[in-house]
Chains A and B, each alone.
Chain A
Amino acid sequence: MNPRLINWIWHIRGSVPLPSLQDPDESFDRLAPLFEERGTRWDRQGKMLTFSKTDQAPQDKMSVFDSGVLTIESGSDGRKLRYDLISRALLFCFLAPLLFLGIAQATVAISDHRVAAAKAEEGAHPKKDKPKKKPLPMSAFDKALGAPAPDSPDKKKPDEDKNRISATPAYVFASIFAALYIIGRILESVLIHSLFKRRLNGTERSKDTADIFIRKTAS
């Protein structure tokens, strides 16, 4: 099976046309600051640059990527930078819905078991009818300020509801991560393309002082 059929999940590939008259050395020189980050190792050999990152801080502009290969290729339409970047975060986000669906299934099973165990317990030791509870007190101060009187305590949830654990949050998070994956797969692809393009064309806005400050202190 062609690995590309599935590895698009965590790979981001693309290309950026290089400005005419820009040689490979100059192109990589322009990209070099992106790799001078904490936890980044990189190697330049001719028309190829490889890098890998560990424990990269979110302040690193390429923090979403863990490794990658950048090559400069010549074609009939000029030179271009081709990149193939690997992101474990994308893979993690792709798999996260499965994890939360698993948690949902486990929650349902545990909840059912808890309800059944409580019922069995009640069957073995039937609870005596509880005496009617007194109405909840209300301070005169709250009455004067117009707060609503508390409900009768007998209105509380039945015991079975108390033993049930809702699986809804797990389903909600499974959906959130599915949506986040789609957003991230598109967004990170656009962002890295635009970052490389701006760097290569020299149009990247000057870094704000916070970035410079952090990099200086980290180095």
Chain B
Amino acid sequence: MSGVRVGNRIIGAQSPVTVGWENVPKVEGGALKQFVFSWFQPVVLFALIAFWFYAPNSIAKASTAIGIGIGFKALLLALEWVNPRFDSWRLTWKEAVTDLFYVGLGYTVIRMAGNFIGDDVMIENVQQFLHWDKVSWFMTLPLLVQAFLISFIFDFGQYWMHRGMHNWHPLWLTHAPHHYITQLNINKGAVGNPVELFLIGLGVGGFFDFLPRAALLAGTFGLAVGTYQHINVRFNSPRWWRFLFNTTEHHSVHHSQDYEASRSNFAGTWIVIDRIFGTCVDGEAELLGMEGGRRMSIPETMAYPFSEGWKSIKQRIGRSVDDDEPSAMPAE
């Protein structure tokens, strides 16, 4: 495989990656199907923004957001059956069970841990220690500006955390299990070691005071854009959408078995952050995973950062012993 040059890098030399929007297939089928799968994403996004902007206070609550999130994901699961991107990514019963197990951990154990050691707790301690108040002028901004900033600032932090995970071994050990998925489905974003899921959820939002409605609007970007990172549906996303937002295409490249391709498209929602820092690759990949597509079991996923971390420490200690060896060698 020769790969394709993107900037200074060769993408797709180890595993097939389609590079360039012009080479990515379009939705096939009748006019109605093409219409639905071309307009679905922007219509849902703008409809949800309008809903959260105008909903009365009695409805604009976190519980409503959870309900909408569950309903939307159920709808997307149905779309996976109607218009899959790849047949090889079709959701099986075992995959559904495994994915839901990680979703369940997120809603229970990880959420509970967040109550004690999450970003809000840490930020509250920092604020108390430094006698800082929350940045309250933020609340005077228009709702949509607040929502954009909450979403963008969080994603900016997530971009660097994610990029750090791909560049610093201790962080990589927490993130690696997520890269053993060999297909993208609606709940695959939750698959991974709980330590990683905790780290990737950290944000600096706690430093700002914002209107509750702005937080709900910001959550809409996560739901109506970020969700498409892991999904087996083919959409004809509009050009402006693909420029601004992360898509399944981008994220499939990130999960590709090709090493160079996997070091691109780090943002969660705003792919424009990758464009700013030169890590964006527009394209698509079908063959995903690590070690040629080995699936990682749940027990291995849970133990991986610790078992591999221990191995790395032992190796490092061993290497430092080896490094000392030459000094113990007799002089010529």
Contact (Cβ within 8 A) A151 B57: yes
Kindly identify which residue among A64, A136, A208 contacts B139, using a CB–CB cutoff of 8 Å.
Answer: A136
Chain B residue at minimum C-beta to C-beta distance from A149: B57
Contact at B294–A180, with CB atoms within 8 Å? no
Residues of A within 8 A of B98 (CB): 89
Main secondary structure of the interface of B (DSSP, over half): helix
Instruction: Report yes or no: B287 in contact with A214, Cβ–Cβ below 8 A.
Output: yes
- B93 close to A148 (CB less than 8 A): no
Instruction: Tell whether B293 is near chain A: CB-to-CB under 8 Å.
Output: yes
Question: How far does the Cβ of B24 sit from chain A's closest Cβ, in whole Å?
Answer: 15
Name the contact of B213 in the complex, choosing from A150, A172, A183 (C-beta under 8 A): A150
Task: Report which of B54, B87, B100, B141 forms a contact with A139, defined as CB distance below 8 A.
Answer: B141
Nearest B residue to A207 via CB reads: B87
Given contacts A57-B295, A92-B298, A100-B108, 5 further A-B contacts (CB under 8 A): A55-B295, A57-B294, A96-B104, A139-B143, A176-B100
The answer to the question of B330 belonging to the interface, with a C-beta cut-off of 8 Å to chain A, is: no
Residue contact A173 to B108, C-beta cutoff 8 Å = yes
| CB atoms of B94 and A89 under 8 A apart | yes
- CB-CB < 8 A to B296: which residues of A? 55
State whether the Cβ of B127 lies closer than 8 Å to any Cβ in chain A: no
Which B residues are in CB contact (< 8 Å) with A55?
294-297
CB pair A107 B183 closer than 8 Å: no
A110 B94 Cβ-Cβ under 8 A: no
Q: Which residues of chain B come closer than 8 Å to A92, judged between CB atoms? A: 97, 101, 298
Find out whether the CB atom of A184 lies under 8 angstroms from the CB atom of B97: yes
Indicate if the CB atoms of B294 and A177 lie closer than 8 Å.
Answer: no
Q: How far is the CA of A180 from the CA of B96 in the complex (A)?
A: 9
Fill in one digit per residue for B124-162: 1 if any A CB lies within 8 Å of its CB, else 0. 000000000000000111110000000000000000000
CA distance A213 to B140 in the complex (A): 55
Residues of B within 8 A of A147 (CB): 53-54, 143, 213
